[in-house]
Structure 1
Amino acid sequence: MTRSDAPSERAKAPSGGGGGLAAALPSPLLLLALAVLACAVLAALPLTLPMGPMYWDLVVYIDGAQRVTAGQVPSVDFFAPVGPLGYWLLAGALRLFDEGQPLLLAQWSLLVVTAPAMALVLRDVDRRSRPLALALLGPFLFFQLLPINIEQYSVYPGVDGYGIYNRQVCHLLYVLTAALVFVEGRRTLLAVVAWCCLSLFLLKITGFLAAGLLCAYALAAGRVSWRIALGCAAIFLAALGALELSLRLPSAYLADIAALVKLNEGSIARRFVQAASIHFGIVGPGAILLAWLLLSGRRTHEGDLRAWAGRSTMARLAAALDRPALWLGIALFAALFAETQNTGGHGFIFLWPILLLVLAQARPGAAGRPALTALLVAAVALPPAVNVFHRSMRAIVGQTQYEVIEGSRLKTLGAATQRAEVLERARILHDIYATYPQPYQAMADAKVLPTYGLYSDLDFQVGWFEAADEAVGAILAYEAAQGVRFETIMSLNFANPFPWLLDRQGPHHIAIGADPTRAVPPPDAQTLEAVAQTDLVLEPLCPITSANDALRRLYEPGLAEHRIVPISRCWRGYVRF
């Protein structure tokens, strides 16, 4: 079955309606172009943002981008927690906008991928219904432009440097879902689906698997023909083949994924329960809406079954599956699956196109009670939007009373602010960590953190960036005093900003985003040899933590020929002689 011969009983998208009113609405393509242009202008300006919890995740992205710029290939030359696309995009953005705020660059660089695909979707939909095209564009721009997660891990307002690739996955899934549900042009659908699926594969594998589930359902429901499906598969495989021949990337990437799966073995059922509990404000109303749609449409479905008696088996199956209620159910499951591997992001936002389809079915005169359906749709859609909008407004208003963090050697990473009392607390703790290391070593030996949520504490994040600034100054002073230059620099820490800050190299074959509990495989001989050839390995001491100790033990065989030198009060250096 093709899209053009879909049964008339299917839910229809809202028509343009309103005659002159629809014609008076602005072009969605123009609005999208203006939004992209505005991002480009803002990216070129030296803006500051209020630092939020786990902001150092941004440094992992910058580390990956720096390595790409230096000629390294993700997964081939270094172990990465996700796919290469985000690093490629940020590397280009950092070169193009050298004064831009790096978090904004990481967030907006995905527009290079999403904006062309969304433009194709909007052009197709706008031909039939401008209000619908604008309804699809609004949420897309809202979530794409704001570096704010739905989840909140701090009492003070700030932007989120963590969950960047999780947000990007959901933005791509939004475009893909909009295409699967509303695009009618076959060539447009082929281009958008192939583009989004390839991008999701290169971004994060869980997003690609969620996309595969949605695409498989669209095929079964008749919204994607076999010809389009085979065309998408051919384009996807051809692109991966080209990447394999030129960079050896897909095979290395799949090997990294297998290593990560092995490191993170656990009960998938527990992860589903956890994801559902974190997002219950969406999952709960979504389940109620699903049940209501199935119940209220039961008689209509029974009538349809009688009307379809003379059709082929495939036609009956497609017509039975292509219903807003079932689309909602499959999308809820796909979103829940994607969130089993996420800490923060824009989870479930790609339900919005399907919710528009539900509203179309709930028009006056349709089965069920349209008012109740609209109320339940609002209950599903509003929580993520309200959370992100509320946190964004708090961050904008709060920053008016914030101060810039100290860090003259941090490049644009220093374009961050926080409350004066947080900055002062960070400085006090910095002194305590350096002066009294014994209790923190005792906690590290016991494998506990100084506070349960240490990495989300704003004072820790501020202190970490200020300590990195201190380390850069200390490294430059040591080099000047000793007449040496460290060409390769590694950090026994979650993030390594120093190659980027000092315009040096990061060692090959090590893991970036080095969480030893779930993202650092046991080093092989090649990795240990790369560590042995690294000029300077830095160990952070403010504070001493079990994670840093674990990283040191992992890479210790490669440090046997290095000499320990004090770089600064908060950094111990392992220097290769």
Structure 2
Amino acid sequence: MNVAFEQASKAGRWHMLSALTSPLALLAVALLFVFVLLLVPLRLPVGPMYWDIYIYYDAANRIFDGQIPVRDFFIPVGPLCYYLFVGWLTLFPNGHPVLLAHWSLLAITTPAMTALVWHVDKRSRFTAFALLIPFLIFALLPFDTRDMYAYPGSDGFGVYNRQVCQILYVLVAAFTFVRDRRLLAGLVAVCMGSLFFVKITGFLAAGLICAFALIAGRITLRDALIAAVAFMAILAGMEISSGLVGGYVNDIIVLVGLNSGTLVPRLLRALSQNFGVVLATTALVAVLVWADWRKLATQPGGRSSLFGRDSLWLAVVMLAGILFETQNTGSQAFFFLWPILLAILLKTGRIANRPALALTVSALVAATALPLVVRVVERAARTYVGAVRNVPLQESNLKTLGALNMRPEVQARSDNMLRFYSEHSGLYQDMADVNELPNPLFYSDFEFQIVYLKTVDMAIDTIRDIETRTGVRFGTIMSLNFVNPFPWLMERSAPLHITIGADPGRTVPLPGSAEEQAVANTDLILLPTCPPTANNKILYTLYEPALAEHRRFKLNQCYDAFVHPRFDKSLGLNIIAPN
């Protein structure tokens, strides 16, 4: 009896130790780490194009206000991004904006990776860890794989693209390592459904991957049909309940029309920006094809023998990645190649009798994978370690959007430029008139991002002062700018039908009657002047007919304002100037 009890006790301790050291335990710790950091007030270093993150708050404010993406306002990407963000913002209202936006996708990828890793762990714990750890590096660190500025800083841009890459990682890992048919079909359905509603270019890249997986026999026709039916059921349910899908598809068509430049320049840009990983991957494909050439020539097997090779699988996924990157400024490009690279590494033991080949394959795998990981980890280290001496942004109205710090020299320059912009606005207006920015990296400049937040902070003070003095309340606020954080920061409403993330020529269709009526009904419309820019001038021109009845006045040194005529009497003619 004692022997049996002792054996049972040892078995129990072994199972507990196994569970505590399992990949799922690591995933649980990572998720706990995420929750803790979202509960703790944090200040992160400002980064290039940081204001992209404000789009999420514009969308969240509209959704909290009862507006529905696609139906009530135009969006530059899929609606799932914003709904996920709203859910996490509700749970963690004081979470840092960059972390909230980047980590919100964990609501989808964590269950998917849990199922995938649990399945793989039953066969090989090493393989399960080898799949999970790279995923966690990219899923936890909110950084792109390429720099947009010389100084290290937080990447508030490219979030949609990073999330697409993380979903593609799950999809590629599933096709490469999952052997359970039901689990594979379920993961494919989840990934394709998520990609469709995150970013359509990611969905198209995944479609290429899925099509080849079917041809190569990585998924059976029956299971592919099951996944397709599940995906279509999701779309049908959403269309019947809200009409969202039809409107979303229509918006995609509009966006394609706005971004209908030729593919070749974008393809060349994607190749040049990712030259290292594309070159290493192409070399690895060539080596694998050469190594398998004799086998393919001597072995019967036709399609399954040819298309089932890791070399062709790697080539197709790389091609899908290149096509996806043609539309991106920043992302975690190509890190979803790792599951295939891992599978290739695990098979090098079969060519141990050919050490030169095994060494070449291993070196090319490292040349493909390591730069991506090193780049993200290095960028995170430079940003966070380098922030030790940073100084906080001084503000009073920005909520968590102002939870930033910066180098002292950035703070000094932003103070100087804020004065310079207001004193020399004519110079920048002349630049705007010829559609030129002060410099090509203007929106990446940390100084610009800080100046923008300071001007928003000052504008809110001025608006509240006017409201206090006159007893009015501007219920709807619009900004003739790329972003519009005012409704979120002041707990007001944003006008219906207006684009969030307003980039003329890329995301702003010509205003129709609905948009013009919404602008005409807006209480307060703000035009930034520190400094004037070509994009803001274009936005003003687009909406100028709808502003015919509004009264224009100088809100402060960095903003002009257009106020609805219903406020004429309350505000007093002394502060109003004609258009």
The TM-score bracket by the shorter chain reads: over 0.9
Distance 1:113 1:68 in 2: 20
Partner of 2:326: 340
Distance 2:460 2:179 in 1: 55
1:33 and 2:28 matched? yes
User: Offset of 1:243 from its aligned partner?
Assistant: 0.9
Q: Deviations over 1:360-382 (max 9, x none)?
A: 22225356711110000000001
Partner of 2:53: 58
1:359 and 2:354 matched? no
Contact 1:478 1:567 in 2 (8 A): no
Contact 2:296 2:305 in 1 (8 A): no
1:454 and 2:422 matched? no
Q: Deviations over 1:304-351 (max 9, x none)?
A: 23xx3xxxxxxx313321111011100110000110000001010100
Distance 1:475 1:361 in 2: 66
Distance 1:70 1:374 in 2: 54
Q: Deviations over 1:195-247 (max 9, x none)?
A: 11100000000110111111111111111111111111111111111111122
1:234 and 2:229 matched? yes
Distance 2:175 2:532 in 1: 50
Amino acid at match of 2:500: I
1:531 and 2:519 matched? yes
Partner of 1:555: 543
Distance 2:232 2:360 in 1: 45
* Structure 2 unmatched ranges of 5 or more: 1-14, 566-579
Partner of 1:72: 67
Partner of 1:518: 506
Partner of 2:556: 568
Spell out the pairing of 1:100-499 with structure 2 (5 A cutoff): 100-305=95-300, 308=301, 316-365=302-351, 369-499=357-487
Contact 1:81 1:260 in 2 (8 A): yes
Distance 1:527 1:155 in 2: 39
User: Offset of 1:23 from its aligned partner?
Assistant: 6.5
Q: Deviations over 1:91-119 (max 9, x none)?
A: 11112111111110111111001000111
Distance 2:264 2:22 in 1: 45
Distance 1:160 1:172 in 2: 19
* Structure 1 unmatched ranges of 5 or more: 1-19, 309-315
Amino acid at match of 1:445: D
Distance 2:198 2:188 in 1: 15
Distance 1:71 1:176 in 2: 34
User: Offset of 1:24 from its aligned partner?
Assistant: 9.6
Select between 319-328 and 295-304 the one with higher mean Cα deviation. Answer: 295-304
Q: Deviations over 1:351-404 (max 9, x none)?
A: 000101111222253567111100000000011111111111001111101011
Contact 1:493 1:548 in 2 (8 A): yes
Amino acid at match of 1:447: N
User: Offset of 1:303 from its aligned partner?
Assistant: 2.7
User: Offset of 1:565 from its aligned partner?
Assistant: 2.1
User: Would the alpha carbon gap of residues 283 and 371 (structure 1) be closer, same or farther in structure 2, given more than 3 Å must change?
Assistant: same
User: Offset of 1:124 from its aligned partner?
Assistant: 1.0
Amino acid at match of 2:345: L
Tell me, what secondary structure is at the counterpart of 1:505? Answer: coil
**Structure with more helix by fraction:** 2
Tell me, what secondary structure is at the counterpart of 1:574? Answer: strand
Q: Deviations over 1:123-163 (max 9, x none)?
A: 11111111001000011000000111111122211110000
Give the superposed CA RMSD: 1.6
User: Offset of 1:25 from its aligned partner?
Assistant: 8.9
Distance 1:32 1:369 in 2: 35
User: Offset of 1:507 from its aligned partner?
Assistant: 0.8
Amino acid at match of 1:107: H
Q: Percent identity over the alignment?
A: 48
User: Offset of 1:26 from its aligned partner?
Assistant: 2.1
Contact 2:46 2:405 in 1 (8 A): yes
1:87 and 2:73 matched? no
Q: Deviations over 1:76-102 (max 9, x none)?
A: 111110001110011111121111111
Distance 1:69 1:195 in 2: 26
State the TM-score, normalized to the length of structure 1: 0.93
